[in-house]
Amino acid sequence: MRAFLFPGQGSQAVGMGAALAEASRTAHDVFHEVDEALGQNLFRLMREGPEEELKLTENAQPAIMAHSLAVFRALTKDGGVDLTKAANFVAGHSLGEYSALCAAGSFDLATTAKLLKLRGQAMQQAVPVGVGAMAALLGADLALARRIAEAAAQGEVCTVANDNDPTQVVISGHKGAIDRAIELAKEMGAKRAIPLPVSAPFHCALMQPAAEAMRDALGYVVVKAPAVPLYANVTAQPETDPDTIRNQLVEQVTAMVRWRESIANMSAAGVDEFVELGGKVLGGMVKRIAPDSKVTSVVTIEDVEALAKEIA
C-alpha cells in the first residue's frame, strides 16, 4: 500500500519549480494557473526571489502548494499515473493538507491557491510580529514536550504545535513562554531547543482569529469528497466526508499537527511506501516513525519519470 504526502511550510526555496516548468508543460501550466488565480506573479517570486519575500507566510503557503501540485500533475498527466490506483491515502503537513485535498479532487487548483493566500494572510495578521514564537525541541517526544511547554507557560500560551516524529516536537505560543521553554528544555531532558525563523506562532490558541477567517472562507467553498481518503492532521485518522473535512481545516489552524500518529496509523493500516511530492522534508520524519517503510521524494522531472515508470 502507498500514501502520497505533501510538504508544509519550510519547504520553500528560491528556484523551486523552475527546472520542472521548463521540462514539463503541464507543470508550467500549474504555476500559470496559480498566478492567474491570485493576480500575482508568484512563480517569478519562486524562481527568482527575493528569499525574504518568498518566506512570507502569504507567499510561502500557495508557493509550496503550487510546487507540489506541479509535481503531482506532471506525474499523473504526463506520467499516466492514476491517483486512485497508485495511492491508498493522501496526507499533508499543515498547509500540505490543502495540497493533498487539491490532488485528491476536493478543491480545484484556483480555489486552493486563494484559500492558502488567505490562510497565510490571516495567520500573519492574527498575532502582531514579535508577540509569538515557535521552537523545535530535538530529542524530545510528545510527553516531554508537553511537560516543558506546561512548565514554561506561566499564564501565557505555550503548547505543542507539531508532533513531527519521535525525536522532534515543535512548540508554539507567546514569545516569552517560548523563550522560557528553550531555557528549560535541556535541563528537563531534551537534547536541544532551537527557535524557528517563523513570522507567527502557528497551531496554537493565538491563531483563533485566523481560524475564524478560514471558517468564513471555507463556508463559501464547495468541498468534494476526496478520490482517496485523507489522513487528517487534527485526528490522525482517514476522512472522506466533505463537511467533516471542512470543519477539520478550520480546527487545524489552532490544533496540533498529529503527523507522527498519522504516519504510524497509516503504517499500521498496511501502508509500506510513502511518496513525498514537491519536497524532501517529510521523508526523514517518516523514516524515524516507520523505519521499515520505503520513502521516495519526488521533486525533479527525473524523479517524476522514475516514479511513473515504477507505478504507472
State mean pLDDT over 179-206: 95
**pLDDT for the residue numbered 246:** 98
Q: Which architecture, in CATH terms, is 132-198?
A: 2-Layer Sandwich (3.30)
pLDDT range class, residue 294, cuts 50, 70, 90: very high
Global pTM exceeds 0.85: yes
Rounded distance between C-alpha atoms, residue 52 and residue 243, angstroms: 36
One of 11, 68, 94, 99 is an active-site residue; which one? 94
Q: Spell out the domain ranges in the chain.
A: 2-126+206-311, 132-198
Long-range CB pairs of 80-85, under 8 A, 24+ apart, other chains included: 80/308, 80/312, 81/307, 81/308, 81/311, 81/312, 83/4, 83/227, 83/228, 84/227, 84/228
One of 67, 203, 262, 297 is an active-site residue; which one? 203
Rounded distance between C-alpha atoms, residue 182 and residue 207, angstroms: 21
pLDDT range class, residue 62, cuts 50, 70, 90: very high
Rounded distance between C-alpha atoms, residue 188 and residue 210, angstroms: 32
What are φ and ψ of residue 298, in 5° steps?
-120, 110
| C-alpha cell read off for 100 | 493533498
pLDDT value at 169 more than 80 = yes
Task: State the DSSP code for 257.
Answer: B
pLDDT range class, residue 72, cuts 50, 70, 90: very high
pLDDT range class, residue 251, cuts 50, 70, 90: very high
Please say if 94 is a catalytic residue. Answer: yes
Rounded distance between C-alpha atoms, residue 97 and residue 239, angstroms: 12
Burial of 70 (0-12, 13-18, 19+ CB in 10 A): buried
Residue type, 38: L
pLDDT range class, residue 109, cuts 50, 70, 90: very high
Q: 3-34 pLDDT, tens per residue?
A: 999 999 888 999 999 999 999 999 999 999 99
pLDDT range class, residue 35, cuts 50, 70, 90: very high
pLDDT value at 129 more than 90 = no
pLDDT value at 265 more than 80 = yes
**For the chain, how big is the Rg over CA atoms in Å?**
18
The domain 2-126+206-311 having CATH identifier 3.40.366.10: the answer here is yes
3-state secondary structure of 34: helix
Rounded distance between C-alpha atoms, residue 134 and residue 159, angstroms: 10
